[in-house]
Structure 1
Amino acid sequence: MPYVIGDELPNAPAGERFRALLDRPQILQMPGAHLGIAALLAKKAGFDAVYLSGAAMSATMGLPDLGMITIEDVCFHVRQVARASMLPTLVDGDTGYGEALNVMHMVRAFEDAGAGAVQLEDQNLPKKCGHLNDKKLASADEFAAKIAAARKARRHLYIIARTDAVASEGMDAAVDRAKRYLDAGADAIFPEALTTREMFIEFAKRMPGVKLLANMTEFGRTPFFTAQEFEEFGYSMVIWPVSHLRIANKAMEGLYNQIKAEGGTHNAIGRMQTRAELYETIGYHKYEELDASLVKTIIPTGMPQRD
């Protein structure tokens, strides 16, 4: 499917389409997809929305996830994901890139780029992955002010407030913070780095009627749970933020090692997406149909044999 144009463009803004997905009875499943091609593959697999991870964007740029990327860095990724797939996208907004005015600028920039929702977290800079140690939290008042600023600036963007307080302040404090953030204007809550089934269930029971987001990241503090299990716990959304990047990085590392060891890719062909598969995913021939000056491409069906 190429960039959507003309009559195929959605009529509703991305934020409204994201909210409509949450009106359905089933949990909203969002795999990570921080590149246009990844969003197309997620859409092809049947997902209705995707998550754009700050850790994935940072790693793709060769940087650690320490709040080093900028609003414009993120908008570059949002634009390609939104334009390529038209899927409502939940974007990791880290700590908001500054104080209240910066948060307002971020919200408008993300909306203009095509985002459907944003997640903000109550850490101070330099921020860390939510599953790491010794995170520095902002005060509840400071973060509530950021949420209020986001609410004031948004036209349609869905606002999710993440709290990292469970690890350092405990469940009671995390619940109190979540309630403050809802009062400030958040649409949903993301309790980060819960470590047991019982903790997920308790948090949900103490937030009746509230839309909740669960994070199912690998190599973190949360055990493996399925989307169905999270739904049973009382959660409306679940993300797999960096899974696609981990898979892709491992595959690339293996390929580079194989080329170095064997002098070519001849023994890696079976693990590759074919040219035909790639062109089908990106809608190559659809673009040719849109431009009559292009001669229709004939895809090679195989590689020639060596003499």
Structure 2
Amino acid sequence: MAIPQRQCLKSALENRDIIPFIGVYDVFSASIAAKYYDALFISGFGFAASHYGLPDIGFIAWSDIVAFVQRVRTILPHHFILVDIDDGYVDTAVACHVVSMLESIGASGVILEDQKRPRRCGHLDGKLLMETDEFLVKLRQVLATRQQLFVVARTDASDPQDILNRAQAYAAVGADAILVDGITDLAMIPPLKAAIDKPLVFNQIAGGKSPPCSLDELKQAGVSLVNYSTPCLFAAQAAIETDMQLLRERDGLLVKDRIGVPECNVHLHQNLVSRNHKINHDR
């Protein structure tokens, strides 16, 4: 399936200095984030939490993530969608199948990491890495399988020389962009940018190892894409905790001055219009 020009990240990067991707955890959060940003990130952390109620340590089934992306694409036909596919769900053949499926339903890109199982969030300690040559086999196959899909190669290495070696190797075989997860100092970005002729991706996550940075700071450092992994998930957790406490403190009396049926229903009907527009456009 040819990716429409409006969803092609390679074309977008020719015209934009930096693209922020907002991490979403379900279709509802995606539809809200889409009102403010034109690029969404399907976060493995957020999906594991929302779909299974479990931590991001390898529970995600590839069929679940593909179905989720399809639902998001149905109501948001014009947004960029970047998908976290972890390690490609272990096996190289599975990784290639997932990439084909995601491209066929309109994903804009994927992030493939070099962790091995048991995997974990990139901002936690104790990560295990595949050997570089082992990961390159998988990466090459994925790149050979995709047609126009944008492929980000992610390394979870922490040693500066290992980071550089892996980034150069992944770039050399054709990855479209490089993500070094868990960077602790923004000063690491400029020399990395100088060493590889590929766009760099920076992962922002509240409470993570990387320092919080503005888009301008990241652009000046040499970053081209920024994925905000979990802002919607963490905002939802905070809001639900607050409202449940209020409901209990008020003896079950609902707070009237917040979102209610009219506001939510308007938003949901807008999603329906977007879905119907896509269906009619595809006919």
What's the TM-score, normalizing by structure 2? 0.89
CA deviation vs aligned residue, 1:270-307 (integer Å, no higher than 9, x gap) = 3x3233332332335965xx7xxxxxxxxxxxxxxxxx
**Aligned match for 1:109, one of 101, 114, 139:** 101
CA deviation vs aligned residue, 1:76-117 (integer Å, no higher than 9, x gap) = 221121111121200001011122211111111222333110
**Aligned match for 2:149, one of 157, 174, 182:** 157
The CA distance in 2 between the partners of 1:284 and 1:134, in whole Å, is 44
In 2 relative to 1, CA 24–256 (structure 1 residues): closer, same or farther, beyond 3 Å? same
In 2 relative to 1, CA 38–173 (structure 1 residues): closer, same or farther, beyond 3 Å? same
**Aligned match for 1:253, one of 241, 255, 258:** 241
Give the root-mean-square deviation of aligned CA atoms: 2.0
Q: Aligned partner of 2:25: which letter?
A: H
The CA distance in 1 between the partners of 2:155 and 2:35, in whole Å, is 32
In 2 relative to 1, CA 49–160 (structure 1 residues): closer, same or farther, beyond 3 Å? same
**Aligned match for 1:269, one of 256, 260, 282:** 256
- 1:15, distance to aligned residue in structure 2 (A): 9.0
The DSSP-based 3-state class of the residue aligned with 1:190 is strand
Q: Aligned partner of 1:44: which letter?
A: K
In 2 relative to 1, CA 228–112 (structure 1 residues): closer, same or farther, beyond 3 Å? same
Whose Rg is larger?
1
Q: Tell me the residue number matched to 1:221.
A: 209
Q: Contact 2:75 / 2:271 at 8 angstroms: preserved in 1? A: no
In 2 relative to 1, CA 25–188 (structure 1 residues): closer, same or farther, beyond 3 Å? same
The CA distance in 1 between the partners of 2:56 and 2:236, in whole Å, is 18
- 1:12, distance to aligned residue in structure 2 (A): 4.2
Matches within 5 A, 1:231-242: 231-242=219-230
In 2 relative to 1, CA 197–281 (structure 1 residues): closer, same or farther, beyond 3 Å? same
Q: Tell me the residue number matched to 1:28.
A: 19
Unaligned runs of 5+ in 1: 1-10, 291-307
The CA distance in 1 between the partners of 2:215 and 2:40, in whole Å, is 14
Instruction: State the percentage of identical aligned residues.
Output: 29
Count of residue pairs the alignment pairs up: 271
The DSSP-based 3-state class of the residue aligned with 1:143 is helix
**Aligned match for 1:54, one of 44, 52, 55:** 44
The CA distance in 2 between the partners of 1:12 and 1:189, in whole Å, is 21
The DSSP-based 3-state class of the residue aligned with 1:118 is strand
Q: Contact 2:3 / 2:108 at 8 angstroms: preserved in 1? A: no
Unaligned runs of 5+ in 2: 277-283
Matches within 5 A, 1:1-307: 12-13=3-4, 17-45=8-36, 47-60=37-50, 61-86=52-77, 87-165=79-157, 167=158, 170-207=159-196, 209-266=197-254, 268-270=255-257, 272-284=258-270, 287=273
Q: Contact 2:25 / 2:46 at 8 angstroms: preserved in 1? A: yes
In 2 relative to 1, CA 54–138 (structure 1 residues): closer, same or farther, beyond 3 Å? same
Q: Aligned partner of 1:273: which letter?
A: I
